[in-house]
A = this chain, B = another copy of it.
Amino acid sequence: MTIRLYDLAGANPALRFSPYCFRTKLALLHKGLDFETVPWRFTDKSRIAETGQERVPVIVDGKRWVNDSWSIALYLDETYPARPKLFPDAQSRNYARFLNSWCDWSVNPAIRPLAVRHVFDAIDEKDKAYFRESREKQLGMKIEAIGADQVAAAAGFASALKPAEIMLADHRFLHGAEPGYGDYALFGSLLWPFAVCPKDPIDYVSNVGKWFERMMGRFDSWAARQPTVRSLA
């Protein structure tokens, strides 16, 4: 049975850029589970009302609806224990949980100055009023002012990534020899500006950039095949 994923999309439905939805897609790829994505817009709240909340990712597995990327990852490991594990043991789950939290609270805030204005440009007209109001409230400034200083934004981005930059100097992946869910969390975060920025934001000379390229090659180069504003232009 194919799992259905409600996946945040731009005005062009082929453009997908949510870091949280990327986590779920990478988790599904890791598990080797069939899935199809349904393009979903910020204002399509009624389509996921079954979950009692208003955000994606949301998966539908048979009759079961599950929301929240972390809850979905736990659900997939519990429901499909014979498939490759996202969390082989308690330490790797705790490590992944911390990396997930670090992405949410340290990395993603540093990406917003790079990405938010381009997300605004890329989303459907019907989403723009909602997006403007929610992001301007969250960040305390106008969309047009977010990331106005792109030199500072790039420095903040590099600074936020520093713990991973050091780690990846002598580890192929954050989880070691093979990627784990924490790698998917960070990769999902970076795929967000990678998808929406007119100029590729990845520094390929850095350790994180080299790791990003390794991640791009996983699952038969799945991520490398995903559309970006550059490939769609």
CA distance A95 to B175 in the complex (A): 8
A5 at the interface (CB under 8 A from B): no
Q: Number of contacting residues on A, CB 8 A?
A: 26
Pick the contact of A163 from B90, B94, B106, B159 — CB < 8 Å?
B106
A32 lies within 8 A of chain B by Cβ: no
Pick from B101, B106, B176: contact of A90, CB under 8 Å: B176
Is A92 an interface residue, CB under 8 A from the partner? yes
Which residues of chain B come closer than 8 Å to A167, judged between CB atoms?
A: 94, 97-98, 101
Q: Are B174 and A94 in contact (CB under 8 A)?
A: yes
Chain B residue at smallest Cβ distance from A109:
B159
13 residue pairs bridging A and B, Cβ less than 8 Å apart: A90-B176, A94-B171, A95-B95, A98-B99, A98-B163, A98-B164, A98-B174, A101-B163, A101-B166, A101-B167, A104-B163, A105-B162, A106-B160
A residues contacting B by CB (< 8 A) are: 88-92, 94-95, 97-99, 101-102, 104-106, 159-160, 162-164, 166-167, 171, 174-176
A101-B166, A102-B163 known; 18 new pairs, CB 8 Å cut-off, are: A90-B176, A91-B95, A92-B95, A94-B167, A94-B174, A94-B175, A95-B95, A97-B171, A98-B163, A98-B174, A101-B162, A101-B167, A104-B163, A105-B159, A105-B163, A105-B166, A106-B162, A106-B163
